[in-house]
Amino acid sequence: MRNPIRRSRKIGKTQGGRVKAGRAIEKMSRWFTQTTWERLSAHTGELLIIRENPSKGHLHPCRSDEVRQVLQKLPTSLTEDIRAVVLRRLPQRDETNGVEARKRYQCIILNAFPRNLEMPWRRKPPEAVLRHYAPWCNEWVQKGSSWILQWDMASLRHYYLYHLLLHEVGHFNHPFHNSWKRREDSAEDFALTWARRLGALE
């Protein structure tokens, strides 16, 4: 059962979560239902950027204004179908499956990242994975049979803004009827191409 919505000078309209500096503001519940995504996708005003509390063990590597700035650097024709970007508390299912970001209806979701800045692998990652992360972070540390990609905040912010965000924008700009692999390859090419055009990659 969800917590009731509570109001006071120090508590916002949310799942009972406190708000910074006691300023009561509107915040989205962390319970995103299909109706919520449909409502966000039907939004016709200025792009919405919604930030959830990332939870104690996680953080959001980039700020809302940084996300907006990157999107504003792109041609309007590439972003006009995006209605909202959600900096989301990491759902258990996405954490289990290693999902960092996704497109949901007309929204982009950027999941929170572990506060220790570690991305663990149970065994040595294949070459394709090493190549994928190399432009953004190449600090691999072996701990027993496990391997950890150790980020710093600057690299992680760069990765979120110029890879994950652009990758999801790419999903808005290719035929949806293509196969899953072709859609992923297209979004990846889009992200890398625009990261270079925006000067984020050599």
Q: Which pLDDT band, with edges at 50, 70 and 90, does 28 fall under?
A: very low
Q: What percent of the chain has pLDDT over 90?
A: 60
Residue indicated by tokens 């970001």: 101
Average confidence (pLDDT) over 23-51: 72
- The band of 150, judged by pLDDT with boundaries at 50, 70 and 90, is very high
Q: And the tokens for 118?
A: 């570690």
Q: What is the pLDDT of residue 4?
A: 36
- Position 175 pLDDT exceeds 90: no
Per-residue confidence (pLDDT) for residue 174, from 0 to 100 = 81
- C-alpha dihedral sign at 157, 103, 69, 32: negative
- Whether residue 31 is predicted with pLDDT greater than 70 in this model: the reply is no
Mean pLDDT of all residues in 167-191: 87
Residue among 53, 32, 17 at smallest CA distance from 7:
17
Specify whether the CB–CB gap between 74 and 162 falls below 8 A.
no
pLDDT score of 197: 97
- Which tokens sit at 27? 């915040």
167 burial level (CB within 10 Å; 0-12, 13-18, 19+) = buried
Does residue 72 contact residue 107 with C-beta atoms inside 8 Å?
A: no
Q: What is the mean pLDDT of residues 118-139?
A: 93
Lowest mean pLDDT of 114-128, 130-144, 174-188, name the range: 174-188
For residue 48, which of 7, 73, 79, 21 has the smallest C-alpha distance? 79
Exposure on the CB side of residue 7, measured as CA atoms within 13 A: 1
**What is the pLDDT at residue 35?**
80
pLDDT tens for 58-114 read 999 999 999 999 999 999 999 999 999 999 999 888 888 888 999 989 999 999 999
For residues 40 and 47, the answer to whether their CB atoms sit within 8 Å is no
Which residue, chain included where needed, has tokens 């072709």?
Answer: 182
Entry pTM? 0.81
* pLDDT on residue 42: 87
